[in-house]
Amino acid sequence: MEIKGPEKPIYSIEVTKATRHDSPLLIPLLEQINGEIGDVCGDKGLSSRRNAQYIAKRGGTPFLMMKKNSTRKSKGYPAWRKMHKSREKDEKAWDKRYHKRSNSEAGFSSFKQQTNSYLSSRNRKCQTNETWLKTIGYNIRQLIHRTIRLAVTRGEL
């Protein structure tokens, strides 16, 4: 799930089984987003050389928390080494930008609170459809909140 901005709309989703790893899903999620992707922050579950390189190729800056046993050897993915060096150079500044990830976590929490974190459907196809419908409803609600906030800010309400 990719979440950006103050109202935290969901820009892309991928419905998977609960046992699927996150790392291979990052690139397909980012491919669903048009335009610039900016800073991409992710936890250790998204940390891979391939993901870092893809983010850099799209013009973004990867801020993927490295696993304890990871090395900065690029192994053909120069963005990985650059990300490692950036953190080593100024860990405090790197961590500050990495913690933008909390916006995604807050958005995901908001989504689960507003839509009920459980799915009522039993079969896989219906669960996927239910998730998409919940996402659409959530985004409509976020759009309404944004519209009201902007109207209040402009003194229109």
Phi, psi at 100, each rounded to 5°: -65, -20
pLDDT tens for each residue of 124-141:
899 999 999 999 999 999
How high is the pLDDT of residue 116? Answer: 81
The closest of 85, 32, 82 to 53, measured between CA atoms, is 82
Amino acid at 89: K
Domain definitions of the chain by residue range: 2-117
Question: Contact, 37 vs 59, CB < 8 A?
Answer: yes
pLDDT band at residue 39, thresholds of 50, 70 and 90? confident
Alpha carbon of 61 to those of 72, 98, 130: distances in Å?
16, 10, 33
First to last CA, the chain: 33
pTM of the shown model: 0.72
88: left (phi over 0), alpha (psi -120 to 50) or beta: alpha
pLDDT tens for residues 53-90? 999 999 999 999 888 888 878 898 999 999 999 998 99
